Every structure is written in structure tokens, then in C-alpha cells.
Copies of this chain bind each other. A is one copy, B any other.
Amino acid sequence: MNSVHFTAETSSNGVLERDFTAGEIPGVLWSPASGADRAPLVLVGHGGGTHKKWPAMTGRAHRLVADGGFHVATIDAPGHGGRPRTAHDEQEIAVMQRAMKAGEPVGPIVVRYNAHLAERAVPEWQATLDALQELPEIGAEGPVGYFGLNMGTAIGVPFVASEPRITAAVFGLHWPEALAEWARQITIPIEFTLQWDDEHIPRESGLALFDAFASTEKTLHANSGRHKELPRFEADSAVRFFVRHLDRSVVAPA
């Protein structure tokens, strides 16, 4: 099994940020700067074309640490951040960029390519979670959350469906075609976001993916606006969702 190796450490606004590798996978772990108390872990998956330290990632991580007291971890997805792209990655990205430039629908390409990436990423998330739970400040007993939108949902839905350690998840902004089958296997509490005027994802598609989750506790947040106009207060809502669902008492030191 791969272990977490810390490679850099900074601290700001009460948040400790540590770069790590687990095997070949580069990641970041954010934690409360004061105290090494055990706390629940939230895994955060980034969107397509971005990476583990994209501003939306560090922003969410700081909110989750400051307002929830959680540990927060993310990793670069295959072909993203500092990680090498395969010939297949290059080809799919070129197809996607041509479609965007021509104003053609990108949905079918994103669905297909993200499903391919998810096959590579799910075992990486599982190995990373194994390694993180070896750390004394995290441990293997606590509840674990997952938070990922866009490609973070395309990877997160199959990951969460096959990972019983995840006990609450925030998803959104994706199509049902490759994901609804996985969603039907998910029964943990879910918060799901979509954009009511999304120019890429048809409204009915977003609603169909939300509907597919088998969870008895699930909440849909639909906001007016286009694909990239998700309101910032949804990040705060996600923090509150994890505060409601990740039970700190389970991980409190004996």
C-alpha cells in the first residue's frame, strides 16, 4: 500500500496546507492549523481542465476547514495538473476543443471522456483514501464526505457508489447518461446542484440525474443562470450539509 508523503507545508488564516504524494498521485491536505485532533475528512474532486489547487478548490477547502473543522483532501485527476496526458487524453481534448470552437454540443464528448477518466480515477481515489486514513489525525473510524461538481461528479458518482466509507456527498452539473446507473446504487445523503439555464446540460437531464439517486435524504439546489454561473453561496451550503451529516463524535479522540 502507498503511504502519504508530505512534500511542502504552508499555513494561512488558520488553515494548514500540506502537499503530498501517495504513490504516483499528487494531492493536497488542508487541516485546522491549531490542534491535531481527529476530525472527519472531506474529499474534494476538481472539474475538467483544472487541478488540485484551482482557486475553487482552495476556496472550498478553506471554507470546509474554517467553518466545519474538517480535514480536506484533493488529488489531481488523471491527465490533469502536473500529471502526464496519454495519447487518448490529447485526442479527446482536441475533439472537445474543436466542438467548443465550432459551437457544437460538447455534452456527448464530455460524457464519454469523463467516463473514461473515472475508470482511471476511482482506484486512485480509493488508494488515496487508504493512505490518508493511515494518518493519525484522520484514522480509519471517521465518516468521510465527497464533494465534486462537473468532472468531480463524473468521477465522484462511480467512486461513491463503490466506496462504503463515503457517508455523505455533494454532486452536480453533469449529465445522467454515464452516471444514472451508478446513482441508483447510492443511498447516502446527497446534495445536488444544477443550473436552471445551463447551456450545455439540458434541464431535464440534470433533473433525471438527481432523480436517479436512491438516497432517502437528498436535496436539489437549482439556481437561475448559465453553466458557469453557479452562485458562490452554494459552497457555504455544501459546508453546512457536511456539518449536518459527518458526525464528529465518531472520530473524537478517546
Contact = CB atoms under 8 A, between A and B. Distances in A.
Nearest to A218: B224
A134 interface: no
Contacts of A210: 222
A50 interface: no
Contacts of A240: 233
Contact of A222 (B215, B217, B220, B233): B220
A196 interface: yes
Interface string A207-241: 10011000111111111100000010100010010
- Interface range on chain A: under 10, 10 to 19, 20 to 34, or 35 or more? 10 to 19
Nearest to A204: B207
Contact of A224 (B207, B215, B223, B237): B215
| SS of A interface (majority) | mixed
A231 B218 CA distance: 10
Contact of A218 (B196, B219, B220): B196
A85 B159 CA distance: 58
Contacts of A237: 237
B224 A216 contact: yes
A244 interface: yes
A222 B207 CA distance: 10
Interface string A232-254: 01000100100010000000000
Contacts of A211: 196
Nearest to A194: B220
Contact of A221 (B217, B220, B231): B220
Interface of A: 196, 207, 210-211, 215-224, 231, 233, 237, 240, 244
Given A196-B220, A233-B244, 11 more contacts: A196-B218, A210-B222, A215-B224, A218-B223, A218-B224, A219-B221, A219-B231, A220-B223, A222-B222, A233-B240, A237-B237
Closest 6 interchain pairs by CB?
A: A220-B222, A218-B224, A219-B223, A221-B221, A217-B224, A216-B224
11 contacts: A196-B220, A207-B207, A216-B224, A217-B224, A219-B221, A219-B222, A219-B223, A220-B220, A220-B222, A222-B222, A233-B244
